[in-house]
Amino acid sequence: MGIWGFVRSKWLYLLILVLALALPLAHPNRYWFQVVIISLVWSIATLSLNLILGYTGQPSLAHGAYFGVGAYAVGLLTLKLHMSFWLALPTAGVLAALVGLIIGVPSMRMRGHYFAIGTLCFGVIIYTIAGNWMELTGGFTGLLGIPNPNAIPIPGIGRISFANQINQYYLVLVLLLITLFVMHRIVYSLVGYGFMAIRNNEVLAAAVGINTFRNKLLSLTISNFIVGVAGGLYAVILGSISPSAAHFNITFYLLLYLLLGGVASLAGPILGAFALPLIMENLQFISEYRNLVFGPLLIIVIIYWPRGVMGGLVDLKQRVQNYYQFRKAGAARAVASAETDQAI
């Protein structure tokens, strides 16, 4: 497949990418730009939840707490230890992954919804600690005045400062693209197939020689590293965090984005993480009551459309293809039978 073939098969994604890169040219107003940037952060976090929940089938519901660990890590490292943001961000990921390992090993002993409930309980522990450990986390007031990412000096050009929204936008966008690339590599690799085998049938996966425990732990660690980074970005973009960054509501919102967008797809989480916050912002006048809409929406989607919007689109495409293939096959059969007739 040459470059042209690639463009032809992926034109929609390329178009979205070009539009995303060009967005700052449209001079969006500050408020909406901020909403878009935060949506990019949610996209990264939702993609990470998708790896462990969508592809590996493990409903890790401490994800909001890992997000909080990443946010607090960046906040504390840059504020209290004056560490460079560029060092603090990967450290946040590593810390979230470590916390995930500590929580993951005992919770991996549970399966299915017990795992979900167990991890949710762990999430509450982290939230409670974030709210009560006054000396470290500042209690329920949280951390204020988290500095912008340090400027990067580029020889010959000057310095790239991250004090403005446009550069922050590109920073998050680049990290989202990296996340997407990594996810793509994982999902279509042998490791990814191993994850999906565990999701589809854990006993069978173990029987064919997949070390299920190690694979689940690997998936969790990668997923947590990414969500930790997303949390770190969240902290630095907002400039302040409170324990609500580690609340289980974050987990629920990530779940909502993931399920409405389309679980176990790469585009679905991004679609969900973008569409819902934007809709929510548009519904500002009912902002307090939006869950009156989103709650039932979640129920309806899970009943009638369990694979979300992307799943629905894939089904539709499949049906259209089947229809055409059926017609083509019918035509071929007609030709074949005509030929047989001639042979006789």
Partner 1 sequence: MELFFQQVFNGIMLGSTYALVALGLTLVLGILNVSNFAHGDLYMLAAYITFTLIVNYSIGFWPAVLVSMVTLAIVGVFIEKFVFRPLRDQSPINPFIAAVGLMLFLETFVIVVWGPRGQRIPNPYPGAVDLFGISTTQQRLIVVVAAVVLIGLLQLFIKRTTMGATIEATAQDREGAALVGINVNRVSSVTFAIAGALAAAAASLIAPIFMIAPGMGALPVMKAFAIIILGGVGSIPGAIAGAYVLGMVESLGGGYLSAAYKDVYAFGALVLVLAIRPTGLFGKEEH
Residues that bind partner 1 (CB under 8 A): 53, 59, 106-107, 109-114, 116-118, 120-122, 124-125, 128-129, 132, 248, 252, 255, 259, 288-292, 294-299, 302-303, 306
d(CA 234, CA 26): 24
d(CA 158, CA 148): 18
Instruction: Closer to partner 1 by CB, 135 or 341: give it.
Output: 135
Q: Least separation, in Å, of the C-beta of 17 and partner 1?
A: 31
Q: Least separation, in Å, of the C-beta of 244 and partner 1?
A: 12
130: Cβ contacts below 8 Å, ≥ 6 apart: 68, 72, 137, 243, 245, 246
Question: How many Cα atoms sit within 13 Å of 86 on the Cβ side?
Answer: 7
Instruction: Closer to partner 1 by CB, 122 or 169: give it.
Output: 122
Instruction: Closer to partner 1 by CB, 128 or 164: give it.
Output: 128
Q: Least separation, in Å, of the C-beta of 249 and partner 1?
A: 9
Q: Least separation, in Å, of the C-beta of 116 and partner 1?
A: 6
198, 202, 205, 206 alpha-carbon torsion, rounded to 10°: 120
Copy the structure tokens of residue 259: 């399920």
Instruction: Closer to partner 1 by CB, 56 or 78: give it.
Output: 56
Instruction: Closer to partner 1 by CB, 170 or 213: give it.
Output: 213
d(CA 53, CA 205): 17
Q: Least separation, in Å, of the C-beta of 34 and partner 1?
A: 24
- Asked if 94 and 252 touch (Cβ cutoff 8 Å), the reply is no
Q: Least separation, in Å, of the C-beta of 113 and partner 1?
A: 4
Copy the structure tokens of residue 302: 């899970």
Q: Least separation, in Å, of the C-beta of 194 and partner 1?
A: 19
Instruction: Closer to partner 1 by CB, 161 or 249: give it.
Output: 249
Instruction: Closer to partner 1 by CB, 239 or 295: give it.
Output: 295
d(CA 31, CA 103): 37
Instruction: Closer to partner 1 by CB, 302 or 331: give it.
Output: 302
Q: Least separation, in Å, of the C-beta of 205 and partner 1?
A: 16
Question: Interior CA angle at 97 toward 302 and 99, to 5°?
Answer: 95
Enumerate the H helices of the chain as residue ranges: 3-9, 11-22, 30-49, 63-79, 85-107, 112-132, 134-137, 165-187, 190-200, 202-207, 212-238, 248-261, 267-282, 291-304, 308-343
